[in-house]
Amino acid sequence: MTGGRLDSIAPEAFAAAARRVMARCDELARVSAEDGEITRVYLSPEHARVNRLAAEWMREVGMSTRLDAAGNQLGVLPASAPDAPRLMLGSHLDTVIDAGRFDGILGVLMSIEVVRLLRVAGEDGAWLSPFDFGIEVAAFSDEEGTRFGKALLGSSAVAGTWDESWWSLTDADGITLREAYREFGLDPGRVGEAARREGELVGYLEAHIEQGPELDRRGESLAVVSSIASARRFQIAVEGEARHAGGTPYDMRRDALLGASEAALAVERVCAAEHHIIGTVGQLEAFPGAVNVVPGEARFSLDLRGEFDESRDRVWNQLSRELDDIMGRRHLRWRAREVHQAPAVFCDPLLQDVVRAGIGETLPRGAAEPTTLFSPAGHDGMSIGRVAPVGMLFLRNPDGVSHHPDEAVSGSDVALGLRAFAEAVAHRGAEPAA
Ligand code: HGY
Ligand code: MN
Ligand code: MN
């Protein structure tokens, strides 16, 4: 479709930018705590290394860079007017364990390329945003919550929603978040400085792989995101009685692992019967963990998401009743500790429109309206939605594989995504000043 605001940019520029993004996704994939896989957690040496690489690439396109008080790597392309508000683009550089190379990283690198595509030279030769807002790129530092269990720590600091109780969160080695801050060179007492004032951001736009099969099934490259699922995460402990695996007859057993296993199956059954409610048990441990001892204790995680907070909470209450029944029948006790909660975020109508217009510029004249999808995957927009309107662009993720080394995206879809993303920013820039 012609008529785009960026028709003056040659298609080869988008293709070259896509090649650079793909090559840099490969480069960042080599920065991992473990050989042979991609694992990069908050406040780790690997986190520091990818922050430095992102800062180098931000400066390469003319941005000034800084590390904020929560370890987020930021870059700014100013508007001509000093103190103009900024449109934030970005995503996250941290990963899950044994991750793919595009979740989060793609959005950060695409944001940097959009700056390269849109920047204009100012009188003094410095690069500027051509809009009445500046452009800021955020490489958020902990979207996944892999190390401390609480997700969205980096973007929560930017949103000004930091909770002092998080300082005592510990990682698998018993290191507290407070200690990890200090080891990384951050001052826990200054985390509040990362927070943004109301009106500082005109919006937040994130490009991300879909992490689901919808676009692949429809044979489409890009989609607008309507909303981001609300999330609640729990650590659940089940208490029974450790006993001899040989001498204990079944009618005397209080097997905590079997109670947890039946609970995990109940999560699947209850959530599968709902619309846009997803529950997952990703961790399950039995204690004492000996082959010849009936497990006296079991611990498992529950990741529960929903399109709406209310339906998510209704299902949590239903699951709690089911766990009461299961554990009661098995003479077990259970308790849940909530470790993360984030409300659903509904993408801003104007930002949905500019993303839709941006995708439209990549489609042939007369093509059907771009697809709009609900995101069951969480994103940093769940935090930033507290201080700015949020919009998201999804890119096709073949077979929907994500949080896995086989996670993929095609270079051609990235080139289309860059055109759509840059067009979306240009369309936002054409809107009357906020
Ligand atoms: O868990 C999620 O949905 C996101 O990838 N952190
Ligand atoms: Mn993820
Ligand atoms: Mn992500």
143 C-beta closer than 6 A to ligand 1: yes
What is the mean predicted confidence (pLDDT) over 9-27? 95
Confidence check: pLDDT of 2 > 80: no
The atom of ligand 1 lying closest to the CA of 229 is 3
Phi and psi at residue 415, in whole multiples of 5°? -65, -45
The atom of ligand 1 lying closest to the CA of 305 is 3
Residues 363, 420 contacting (CB under 8 angstroms): no
Q: Bridge-partner residues for 349, per DSSP?
A: none
Among 69-73, 189-193, 197-201, 295-299, whose mean pLDDT is lowest?
A: 197-201
Confidence check: pLDDT of 244 > 60: yes
| Cα first-last separation, the chain | 28
Confidence check: pLDDT of 3 > 70: no
What is the mean predicted confidence (pLDDT) over 339-355? 96
What is the mean predicted confidence (pLDDT) over 261-273? 98
Confidence check: pLDDT of 433 > 80: no
What is the mean predicted confidence (pLDDT) over 136-150? 97
Q: What is the pLDDT of residue 434?
A: 53
Q: What is the average pLDDT value for the chain, to the nearest integer? A: 96
pLDDT category at 1 given cuts 50, 70, 90 is very low
145 C-beta closer than 6 A to ligand 1: no
Angle at alpha carbon of residue 152, lines to 190 and 137, rounded to 5°: 75
Ligand 3 center from residue 42 Cα (angstroms): 14
* Predicted confidence (pLDDT) per residue in 203-221, tens digit: 999 999 999 999 999 999 9
Confidence check: pLDDT of 120 > 70: yes
Confidence check: pLDDT of 5 > 80: no
Give dist(CA 202, CA 354) in Å, integer: 13
* Domains of the chain as residue ranges with CATH: 11-229+346-430 (3.40.630.10), 230-342 (3.30.70.360)
pTM for this model (two decimals): 0.91
* Predicted confidence (pLDDT) per residue in 174-192, tens digit: 999 999 999 999 999 999 9
